[in-house]
Amino acid sequence: MPSAKQYSDPLTRNDIGLLILRVAVGVTLCWSGLNVVFASEQFVQLGSTASASADLAARVLAATYSIGGALLIAGLLTPLGGCAVLGSMLYSAVLGYSVRSDLFQSGTEVQFPLVLAAAATAVILMGPGRISVDGRFGREQWPNAVSSVLVVAGFGAAIAAWVLIKGTNPFP
């Protein structure tokens, strides 16, 4: 348990900045994910075809980034939430790119997920800050090994999701 002195120190700009980053990314993803999970028209586009398996895959992907976003908002198990967001946003970016095969013409279909993936990576590497559940229990920063492994796991999860859902190599 952290000492009382730790919380008597004034908050730093980093703590406030990390809170703003976590909450902005988390709210965006929770809102978007819940819309995808509960809106019948939107989830089919995330899967491979308009089939039951694509429907399930899209709902699982949206639920994954919704849960990851909720973990980021609370700052609870922050690296795991960031890893979920990183993997799902990388999958979404590759999906957006694969539709047009042109990075510059893909627009927000690629750019927005990449920005969210970069923000999730920053939170994984920097930690949640003191204004978080993790921070309350002395985990303002997670060990470097944990952060590094979870960044790599996020990339691996995106590749694994692509192979499982699409059945092809994401790097043709």
Q: What is d(CA 151, CA 83) in angstroms, rounded to the nearest whole number?
A: 6
The residue ranking higher by pLDDT, 121 or 34, is 121
Q: Which of 2-6, 54-58, 126-130 has the lowest mean pLDDT?
A: 2-6
Label residue 48 by pLDDT band (50, 70, 90).
very low
Whole-number percent of the chain with pLDDT over 90? 53
The mean per-residue pLDDT over the stretch 134-138 comes to 92
pLDDT recorded at residue 97: 79
pLDDT recorded at residue 81: 96
Tell me the two tokens of residue 114. Answer: 């990449």
Tell me the two tokens of residue 132. Answer: 């978080």
pTM: 0.85
pLDDT recorded at residue 53: 66
144-161 pLDDT, tens digit per residue, is: 999 999 999 999 999 998
Contacts of 8 (CB under 8 A, 6+ apart): none
How far is the first Cα of the chain from the last one, in angstroms, to the nearest whole number? 50
Percentages (nearest 5) of helix, strand, coil residues in the chain: 75, 0, 25
Residue with tokens 């994954």: 64
| Domain ranges for the chain | 13-40+51-166
The residue ranking higher by pLDDT, 142 or 58, is 142
Tell me the two tokens of residue 90. Answer: 């990388």
